[in-house]
């Protein structure tokens, strides 16, 4: 659980793919081009957001007909901002750790250390088939990702780095210049046992799909206990789709419209693909393993975090997620530019006030 001295971090999904963040025919005033995204990054930076997360897609599908590559797009956003950190999604398989380490180290120098990486272990089997990449079984994908992360860290910190792994091999490899300290943060996604176990050993941050505070707490307790046994520390990010409006009725009406106008064929296609994710894990748990049709309308179960209502209601619910162990809230929106600004102006200050009040309560109780 986050200590009372730690402020929650806020991140947003970068819409570097077309179609927005919901699989719905509702109007989405969200652009996927660079001009829209540069302005969005500047709005987010000016309104209290700490991070932006770029998406990785190789092929069209599920409303995303166009996709910009994540690392180069992240660099463009970093060049347009001064304090925002941008997390570039990368996939073991298409990326070799030597390439990723060099690429990210260079961007790290060019942006004064503001780039991070999100190591994606799965995503879509169909994409891997389309580009000729081997698709591994669920737990093997996480085993490869763990080796990938160990390789990144080794390259960034050691001279004459050597690794005799099952997936990657390095012999006396010295990469210079090393990244600026502190090293680029390494994020990962997942909810399965393999994902949690990997996070407890090697990752700086663990992203999980949207869920209730009670379910988030179960994952947090498991990860933190395992991490402590490993002498490791990992922070937790929770996905959420925010619909902040002046009244709860207005916000709920937007949610109802999103679901009513959902594209059933695209949602089902997405559902079929993600069976290769959480449901494919040996224990049948993980991202999307228990998602309903309504949940899948938003890619990462963002509705389940229930950040839907007035700014006051949303701030209270965010604090409950923090109490459950969340260190960061990763947000999606319907109309990104205007809603990121509204959220930053109306919700984040309320969260900060609640955090201060909670700190006072904790200090008084000590």
Question: What are 97-136's pLDDT values in tens digits?
Answer: 999 999 999 999 999 999 999 999 977 888 999 999 999 9
Q: What is the pTM of this model?
A: 0.92
To 10 degrees, the CA torsion angle through 87, 188, 230, 284?
170
pLDDT band at 1 (very low <50, low <70, confident <90, very high): very low
Provide Rg for the chain, Cα atoms.
Answer: 20
pLDDT score of 269 = 67
pLDDT score of 294 = 76
Q: What is the share, in percent, of the chain residues with pLDDT greater than 70?
A: 91
| Residue range 275-299: mean pLDDT, rounded | 61
User: In this model, does residue 287 exceed pLDDT 50?
Assistant: no
pLDDT score of 277 = 53
- The one-character DSSP state at 204 is S
pLDDT score of 273 = 66
pLDDT score of 3 = 44
Q: Which has the closest alpha carbon to 27: 233, 260, 266, 301? A: 260
User: In this model, does residue 2 exceed pLDDT 70?
Assistant: no
> What is the average pLDDT score of the chain?
92
CA 317 to chain centre: 19
pLDDT score of 276 = 58
Q: Which has the closest alpha carbon to 242: 325, 298, 188, 187? A: 298
User: In this model, does residue 47 exceed pLDDT 70?
Assistant: yes
Bigger pLDDT: 267 or 323? 323
């Amino acid at each position: 659980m986050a200590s009372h001295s730690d402020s929650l971090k806020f991140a947003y999904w970068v819409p570097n793919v077309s179609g927005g963040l919901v699989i719905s025919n509702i109007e989405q005033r969200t652009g996927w081009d660079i001009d829209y995204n540069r302005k969005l990054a500047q709005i987010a930076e000016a309104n209290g957001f700490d991070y932006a997360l770029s998406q990785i897609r190789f092929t069209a599908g599920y409303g995303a007909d166009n996709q910009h590559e994540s690392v180069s797009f992240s660099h463009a956003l970093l060049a347009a901002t001064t304090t925002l950190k941008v997390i570039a999604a990368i996939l073991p398989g298409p990326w070799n750790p030597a390439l990723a380490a060099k690429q990210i180290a260079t961007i790290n120098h060019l942006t004064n250390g503001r780039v991070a990486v999100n190591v994606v272990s799965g995503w879509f089997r169909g994409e891997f088939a389309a580009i000729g990449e081997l698709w591994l079984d669920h737990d093997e994908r996480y085993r490869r990702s763990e080796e990938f992360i160990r390789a990144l860290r080794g390259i960034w910190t050691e001279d004459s780095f050597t690794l005799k792994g099952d997936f990657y091999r390095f012999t006396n490899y010295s990469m210079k210049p090393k990244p600026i300290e502190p090293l680029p943060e390494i994020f990962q996604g997942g909810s399965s046992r393999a994902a949690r176990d990997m996070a407890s050993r090697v990752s700086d941050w663990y992203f999980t799909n949207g869920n209730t505070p009670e379910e988030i707490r179960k994952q947090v307790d498991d990860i933190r206990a395992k991490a402590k046994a490993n002498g490791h520390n990992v922070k937790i990010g929770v996905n959420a789709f925010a619909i902040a409006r002046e009244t709860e009725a207005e916000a709920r009406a937007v949610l109802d419209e999103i679901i009513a106008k959902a594209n059933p064929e695209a949602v089902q296609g997405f559902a079929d693909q993600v069976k290769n994710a959480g449901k494919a894990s040996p224990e049948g748990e993980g991202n999307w393993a228990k998602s309903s049709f309504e949940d899948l309308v938003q890619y990462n179960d963002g509705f389940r975090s229930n950040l839907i209502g007035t700014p006051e209601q949303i701030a209270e619910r965010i604090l409950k997620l923090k109490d459950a162990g969340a260190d960061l809230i990763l947000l999606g929106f319907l109309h990104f530019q205007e809603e990121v600004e509204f959220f930053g102006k109306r919700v984040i200050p309320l969260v900060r006030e609640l955090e201060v009040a909670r700190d006072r309560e904790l200090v008084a109780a000590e």
